[in-house]
Amino acid sequence: MKAETAILGGLVVSSAGVLPATVVISGGRIVALSDPAERWPAEEVLDARGRIVLPGGLDPHVHFNEPGRTHWEGFETGSAAAAAGGVTTVIEMPLNAIPPTTDASAFALKLEAIGPRAFVDYALWGGLVTDNVDRLEGLERSGAVAYKAFMIATGTEYARADDGVLWEGMERIAGWNGLVGVHAENNDLAMRLQARLQRAGRRDMRAWGEARPPEVELEAIQRVLRMARATGCRLHIVHLSTPEGGALIAAARQRGQRVSVETCPHYLLLDEEAFARLGPVAKCAPPLRPRPAVEGLWRQVADGTIDCLSSDHSPCPPEDKARGVDDVWQAWGGISGVQTALPLMFSEGVRRRGLPLERLAALTSTNAAKIFGLYPRKGSLIPGADADVVILDPEREWTITAEWLRSRHRLSPFLGWRVTGWIERVLVRGRTVVRDGDLVGDPGYGTLLRRGPAAKGPHGSAMR
């Protein structure tokens, strides 16, 4: 049999470890990882000598704001940025789209809008908000892979879920062994602290962190852990910013709870000093933390306490950042990061800190695929899986520039960073979408993914 594509000579990172192998692709899927000495006739041969071959990134937390706020991003530019950054699957959030994705009709509207625009594959979050508990089942039937709830006000039309709503939503979602993802910050505490700082005339960047100290996150994590345990619902904590929160989650797991957690590159690479220096472009919630917290998160990324990385890519027009320069409360809180996540984690994690390549693949692809029910189709370079592949040149040094970014608004707190490791080629289902760093895919090629049967581990899927 003649294969469509053979990737020769690379160091392949798979669940079997890191080994030289030929990746053989046919029909958009991986058909074999073969001994490099073996010859595979193929229509297209890709020379990956001296390169690292990784499973395509799976970013479980992006905001592309389609439909309704496409002047902020939109699926075409957002998924182009994903592809260029080695992310071959995104799971897109229900908020900042108008209407928010909180029922079956909004889900259908979103799918229609995305259809002709996606460069990479995608799954969709549904929302759990104040008034949609009775419509969650419709979202499930539509194909939502998880449900997002905010314990704190979002500042947009997306309603916060109070404790009663969270409880009822979790009861419902547990009924189909679904997953609730929570933005865990204590609303009352943060709003009170914010009002007090505002009364005192504070508008500087540091005030943002003072309004949302670690306790704001920790109390919310503790509370939602209890509610998820009581209702029997699988729980995913999004964008963890404090290692103490990771410890709470680890302790809950030890008691048998099904809970997973992600953090973002910005919590690992930036700290509160960087925020004070960079200004609104680095405003996010929870806020960037002091240096010891950052180091604590790195330990949890390395030791497996943290399951996966997400970008929480949440862009906005430049003016929505600019108005916060002299008044932090006025700036949009969100960081653009879908394109920079994988290169930065390779450079800062693998190269600088010695993070093993297997761990990088688990963090950027495999574990999220398992948590969100997309494994083994996505998340690993194994026979039978979709041929979503990143070919990375581990030695090439380059600088992150605005010109390289593909988002609608080329904002990033990482502009000017020197990076070792260049994303040379990206394949989605066997087709090259990025070549020599250039986008060559087509909008509309990306397809909707639905949740399959739960896979084993890491934390949450098929555990007790």
- Residues of the shown chain interacting with Zn ion in the complex, contacts defined by CB under 5 A: 312
* Cα gap 312→214, rounded to integer Å: 19
Tokens of 273: 């000093």
For Zn ion, the closer CB: 312 or 386: 312
**Shortest distance in whole angstroms from residue 309 CB to Zn ion:** 13
For Zn ion, the closer CB: 264 or 423: 264
Taken as a whole, the chain contains a residue count of 464
**Shortest distance in whole angstroms from residue 238 CB to Zn ion:** 6
Looking from the CA of 88 toward its CB, the CA atoms found within 13 Å total 32
For Zn ion, the closer CB: 10 or 126: 126
**Shortest distance in whole angstroms from residue 312 CB to Zn ion:** 4
DSSP letter at 351?
I
Looking from the CA of 460 toward its CB, the CA atoms found within 13 Å total 31
For Zn ion, the closer CB: 10 or 287: 287
Tokens of 227: 């509610």
For Zn ion, the closer CB: 92 or 312: 312
Contact 315, 407 (CB under 8 A): yes
For Zn ion, the closer CB: 285 or 355: 285
10 Å Cβ neighbour count for 448? Answer: 14
Report the DSSP pairing between strands 431-435 and 438-439: antiparallel
**Shortest distance in whole angstroms from residue 182 CB to Zn ion:** 11
For Zn ion, the closer CB: 312 or 320: 312
Contact 243, 297 (CB under 8 A): yes
**Shortest distance in whole angstroms from residue 363 CB to Zn ion:** 18
For Zn ion, the closer CB: 307 or 312: 312
**Shortest distance in whole angstroms from residue 267 CB to Zn ion:** 13
* Residue 36 CA to its chain's centroid (Å): 33
For Zn ion, the closer CB: 140 or 312: 312
Residue 256: which residues within 8 A CB-CB, separation 6 or more?
463, 464
For Zn ion, the closer CB: 270 or 381: 270
Which residue shows structure tokens 């939503």?
169
* Cα gap 153→396, rounded to integer Å: 43
**Shortest distance in whole angstroms from residue 288 CB to Zn ion:** 15
10 Å Cβ neighbour count for 192? Answer: 12
Q: Which residue number is nearest to Zn ion in terms of Cβ?
A: 312
Tokens of 29: 């899927």
**Shortest distance in whole angstroms from residue 186 CB to Zn ion:** 17
Amino acid present at 149: A
For Zn ion, the closer CB: 312 or 388: 312
Phi first, then psi: what are they for 129, rounded to 5°? -130, -175
**Shortest distance in whole angstroms from residue 404 CB to Zn ion:** 23
Amino acid present at 65: N
**Shortest distance in whole angstroms from residue 61 CB to Zn ion:** 6
**Shortest distance in whole angstroms from residue 280 CB to Zn ion:** 17
Contact 86, 342 (CB under 8 A): yes
Which string of b and e fits 76-100 if b means at least 16 CB within 10 Å?
bbbbbbbbbbbbbbbbbbbbbbbbb
User: In the chain, helix, strand, coil percent, each to 5?
Assistant: 35, 25, 40
Phi first, then psi: what are they for 428, rounded to 5°? -120, 120
Paired with 448 in beta bridges are: 122
**Shortest distance in whole angstroms from residue 96 CB to Zn ion:** 9
For Zn ion, the closer CB: 335 or 361: 335
* Cα gap 249→245, rounded to integer Å: 6
